[in-house]
Amino acid sequence: MAMASPPFISTFNFNPISFKTTLPPLSSSSSLTPKLRRPFLRFSVKASRKQVEIVFDPDERLNKIGDDVDKEAPLSRLKLFSPCKINVFLRITNKREDGFHDLASLFHVISLGDTIKFSLSPSKSKDRLSTNVQGVPVDGRNLIIKALNLYRKKTGSDRFFWIHLDKKVPTGAGLGGGSSNAATALWAANQLNGGLVTEKELQDWSSEIGSDIPFFFSHGAAYCTGRGEIVQDLPPPFPHDLPMVLIKPREACSTAEVYKRLRLDQTSNINPLTLLENVSSNGVSQSICINDLELPAFQVLPSLKRLKQRIIASGRGEYDAVFMSGSGSTIVGIGSPDPPQFIYDDEEYKNVFLSEANFMTREANEWYKEPASATATTSSSESRLDFQ
């Protein structure tokens, strides 16, 4: 460890005519070099019968300058958690003239998520996106790039970014991973541009590139209507320590295919506001976790229906509710972080994606915080996660 240097000791003898300074001689072995950790000057000043000692510590001054610079310097990089969501219930209430469907759903953020690193790029013409998995586009098809382009279009900013996406949320899962990435990118772009606009503006703009994106600008729990872009923030309806398990087969569900097979006369007729009231009063139960997209999703992927049935049968009451999230193909079991034993034993399920999770929310004016511990695995010791 470097030691602090010995002080300069200077004696100033004042008289009406002369001013004299004496310094100790310096040698080549002197520790007083620019590499010293904490050089300082100590002056012992005699004036008349009074002696005043003045200590000058350049490190302290430089540290203060550094602190002032840090306060003034613009933010240049960010590392953010990008959590996914589940639909605790999902009612499809109408088909619109524009081809979309009206829905009414309780969305909730959960603790499974990706990590995204953003840094300012010297480029003035292009963002650069990299990722840790194959099958995820890194060009203009990716919602992260679309979100950054949208931010520049709306604000006039000329800043571009380097982005690395550490992907943990599978695609085609009904978990909104891509939508969360887009919302996180909008938040990051705004922070790295000095906060040019409000969260409400980011939320409003985000619906232009995806129906689920506005939800992530809630505080983590929301009742969403319209295409999903009308977001009513809710106080947290569930305790954060309520565990769940996510089980996603290797096969994905095409959202377009699921909606193509949807028949409104085969959906539930329960009022979604009644479901919301029941959640507020009684918490999670199987009767509340209705998903109108399950039936068409099970037609697209019949093995998904069998998986849900087996989880319910094998759970022996361990789960408060078992349901599909979004348009699939993730089955959620709330009440336990553990999958049924058959998931490990049956060859059919050796490649499923497994993750335990909890409900989570965020504080005002902050983004979602990565949980201290998050587990996402496959059912075998070797990761076979397929994001294609």
Give, for 272, the enclosing helix (H) or strand (E). helix 272-282
Task: Quickly tell me which residue has 């200590």 as its tokens.
Answer: 55
Predicted confidence at residue 51, as pLDDT, reads 56
Paired tokens of 90: 């999902």
Backbone torsions φ then ψ of 304, nearest 5 degrees: -70, -40
C-alpha 315/C-alpha 114 separation (Å) is 29
Q: What are phi and psi of 272, to 5 degrees?
A: -60, -30
Catalytic, 166? Answer no
In this model, does residue 37 exceed pLDDT 70?
no
Q: d(Cα 246, Cα 330) in Å, to the nearest integer?
A: 6
Domains of the chain: 74-358 (3.30.230.10)
pLDDT of residue 184: 98
Cis preceding linkage at 329, omega within 30? yes
> Which pLDDT value is given to residue 247?
98
As a whole number of angstroms, the distance between CA 206 and CA 216 comes to: 10
- Give the pLDDT score at 70: 46
pLDDT of the residue at 150: 98
Residue type, 169: V
Residue found by looking up tokens 């089980």 in the block:
247
pLDDT bin (cut points 50, 70, 90) of residue 21 is: very low
Q: What angle do CA 184, 190, 196 make, to 5 degrees?
A: 155
- Per-residue pLDDT tens for 148-198? 999 999 999 999 999 999 999 999 999 999 999 999 999 999 999 999 999
Instruction: Name which of 164, 67, 165, 162 is nearest 114 in CA terms.
Output: 165
Give the residue with greater pLDDT, 51 vs 343. Answer: 343
Active site residue 212: yes
With helix as H, strand as E and coil as C, how does 322-343 read? EEECCCCCCEEEECCCCCCCHH
Q: How confident is the model at residue 315 (pLDDT cuts 50, 70, 90)?
A: confident
Predicted model pTM: 0.79
Exactly one of 114, 127, 212, 320 is catalytic; which is it? Answer: 212
Instruction: Give the model confidence (pLDDT) of 227-241 as tens digits.
Output: 999 999 999 999 999
pLDDT recorded at residue 382: 34
Edge-to-edge strand ranges of the sheet holding 321-324: 321-324, 331-334, 243-248, 353-358, 376-378
Judge whether 217 and 180 are in contact, CB under 8 Å. Answer: no
